[in-house]
Structure formats: structure tokens, C-alpha cells
């Protein structure tokens, strides 16, 4: 499952103009799903794999979500939107609920989700979040084999407290501390019916400056993982 924000201006919580052109890469999670499906088809990997892509743009408009709005997710849980630039988790949470109908053995979501993950891990390792040790180790091993490495980050329940809202079941952001962790904690609230892992590729999906362009990560990691499972 890949985050497919085809352009992310931040919505009403608009981003600074500098480097905003790179926000066309906010669909790299979705692109990695398409790339992985094509690769495993060409390689003949004998395993059922379903790809989900929640796609939209995040732009300011008269109909845009506003900070302070409360919305109801597909799961029925309510969300207070404190920052409209934390939009990826809002499309992913419904896709995670939608995935339940397939009765999956496991779900992996891939998203250029947080600048905080770039602060934590730079552009070397993808951030990996999961409470399933076997699934996490399988992804880490595949990453090492494919030279497309990830680093496992914490997902302790204590971080969930930062998502407390006075008006809804949760807020869509948890403040500056551990921003990539609270984003993963938010997603985890929609994954109770299957094994789940989250890959935050905000630091690894594309390059800036003179080398600007998509990197193709984490397609090698995902393909190797599926080959290992098959």
C-alpha cells in the first residue's frame, strides 16, 4: 500500500515556497507499489500480492479541510485535524481499513510521511515501524540483502498519548517530539486485524539539488522481501 499524494502544497497549512516543487515526489510510496508489482510479475514471483494506492492532491481551496475540523474515518474513529499538511496519514488510515476486506496475511504501507524521519535517519535508512518482530526482521534482512536498508524505530504505546484530542478519538499530529513515531502510532490504530509494518521513505525516496529525481527506493527491499517469502 503506497501513499499517492500527487502534489502536496500542505493545504491550508501551506508549506514554504522553497523546494515545494519536490512535493511531486509525495507519491513515491504509490510509485513503489507499482514498481514492486511490475518487478515481481516480470520475475514470476509465485505469491498473491495486492497493491493499494490511495491517491489525491493536497491543495488550498474553499472546500479544503481546515485546522480544527473533525472528520470521521472509514473505520468510524474520529480525527481532529490540527495540521492539514499531515494529510498522508488521513488517506492511508482509510486504505488500511479498506485492506481488511482482503483478509491479508500482512500489510506493508510505504509513505513519504514525515520530515521528522529525515531528521532522525537522514537519507541512508528508511524508517521501519512494526510491532511484529518476525515481519520487521524479514524486511530488515531483505533490505540488507538488496542494499536498500531500513532501520527499525520504536512504536511504544506511551507515544500514543501525544495524539490525545479533546474533541475526537485522536488528533492527526502529536507535536514536534518523535514526529515520525507518532505518525506511525496514528496509523497503527487502524491495523488491529492483521500483521502490519510501516515504511517511512521521506528521506530515501528522492534526491534533491543537482541530482534531483526519484531513487526507486524501497522497491529493491520490497521485491527481495516478497522473493524471500515465496
Catalytic residue ranges? 15, 89
Phi-psi region of 217 (alpha: psi -120 to 50; beta: other; left: phi over 0): beta
Chain-centre distance for alpha carbon 147: 21
Closest by Cα among 88, 67, 75, 37 to 199: 88
Rounded Cα gap, residues 50 and 210, in angstroms: 36
Buried b (16+ CB within 10 A) or exposed e, 83-113: bbbbbbbbbbbebbbebbeeebebbbbbbbb
Contacts of 186 (CB under 8 A, 6+ apart): 89, 93, 163, 170, 172, 174
Amino acid at each position: 500500500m503506497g501513499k499517492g499524494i500527487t502534489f502536496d502544497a500542505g493545504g491550508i497549512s501551506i508549506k514554504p515556497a522553497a523546494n515545494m516543487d519536490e512535493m511531486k515526489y509525495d507519491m513515491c510510496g504509490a510509485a513503489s507499489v507499482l514498481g514492486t508489482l511490475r518487478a515481481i510479475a516480470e520475475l514470476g514471483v509465485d505469491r498473491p500480492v495486492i497493491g493499494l494506492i490511495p491517491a489525491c492532491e493536497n491543495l488550498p481551496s474553499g472546500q479544503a479541510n481546515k485546522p480544527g475540523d473533525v472528520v470521521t474515518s472509514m473505520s468510524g474513529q474520529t480525527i481532529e485535524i490540527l495540521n492539514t499538511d499531515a494529510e498522508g496519514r488521513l488517506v492511508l488510515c482509510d486504505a488500511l481499513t479498506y485492506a481488511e476486506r482482503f483478509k491479508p496475511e500482512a500489510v506493508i504501507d510505504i509513505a513519504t510521511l514525515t520530515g521528522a524521519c529525515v531528521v532522525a535517519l537522514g537519507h541512508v535508512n528508511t524508517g521501519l515501524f512494526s510491532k511484529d518482530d518476525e515481519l520487521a526482521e524479514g524486511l530488515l534482512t531483505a533490505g540488507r540483502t538488496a542494499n536498500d536498508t531500513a532501520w527499525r524505530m520504536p512504536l511504544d504505546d506511551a507515544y500514543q498519548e501525544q495524539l490525545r484530542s479533546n474533541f475526537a478519538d485522536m488528533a492527526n499530529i502529536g507535536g514536534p517530539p518523535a514526529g515520525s513515531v507518532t505518525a506511525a502510532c496514528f496509523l497503527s490504530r487502524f491495523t488491529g486485524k492483521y500483521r502490519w509494518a510501516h515504511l517511512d521513505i521521506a528521506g530515501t525516496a528522492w534526491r534533491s539539488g543537482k541530482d534531483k529525481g526519484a531513487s526507486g527506493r524501497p522497491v529493491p527491499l520490497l521485491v527481495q522481501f516478497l522473493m524471500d517469502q515465496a
